[in-house]
Amino acid sequence: MAYVDWSIEGPFMVTCSCDWGCPCQFNSRPTGDYCHAVSAMEIRAGHFGDVRLDGLRWAAMFAWPNAIHEGHGQCLPIVDERADDAQRRALLTILSGGESEPGATVFNVFASTMEKVHEPQFAPIEFEADVNAPRGSIRVPALIEARGEPILNPVTGAEHRVRVVLPDGFEYREAEYGNGSARTQGPLTMAWERGHSHFFNMHMTPYGPA
């Protein structure tokens, strides 16, 4: 099947309520048997057909009552307020898993587990991410405050670096792992102070990570 030609490239960060390492990455059940997460990306280079997406940001909030694959999830997509109508439609199509090979992208996989998608928000998104540090932050006024930082050795206080490779991953092929925290408001109210985070340079197409 032919899909609209699209691609997004740029730094990506996610933090979730699970313990460091995120059991989902290893086909295990989530910590506490539920999953709450926040993610964001800055598109350094991107397009959806003829629509350019360079410089735009997006964020999302997720909540699953059990393991992700068991479904009944909720999602709130947030698109950069600077996007025009065509760019908003393009980004919402990508984030909803549209114009993607089934099961090939994290967007398509997550969409298949959603019971409710809340009305998209268009807002200013403050986002910083050093994917190699790893350090980053996500801020959407009245919706998200999140941070990611290195895991620290409990004895020496030194930064403990962790990098995971998933050769067949539908989200990334290699990512830097760290500690994450988040507090959200709005349709999905969640909070965690010591959770998982990971960072990588996303390059996603309709057929998965490039």
Give the residue extent of every domain in the chain: 6-209
pLDDT digits (tens, 9 = 90+) for 84-103: 999 999 999 999 999 999 99
Q: What is the mean pLDDT of residues 92-121?
A: 98
Residue 1: pLDDT band with limits 50, 70, 90? confident
Which residue from 115, 108, 197 is spatially nearest to 150, judged by alpha carbons? 197
Contact status, residue 120 vs residue 92, Cβ threshold 8 Å:
yes
**In the chain, what percentage of residues exceed pLDDT 70?**
100
Residue 66: alpha-carbon gap to chain centroid: 18
Diameter over CA atoms, the chain: 54
Residues 6+ apart with CB under 8 A from 198: 13, 14, 22, 134, 164, 172, 175, 176, 177, 178
Nearest partner of 1 among 208, 210, 206, judged by Cα: 206
Note the CATH number of domain 6-209: 2.40.400
List phi, psi (to 5°) of 85.
-60, -45
At residue 203, the pLDDT reads 98
User: 35-61: per-residue pLDDT in tens?
Assistant: 999 999 999 999 999 999 999 999 999
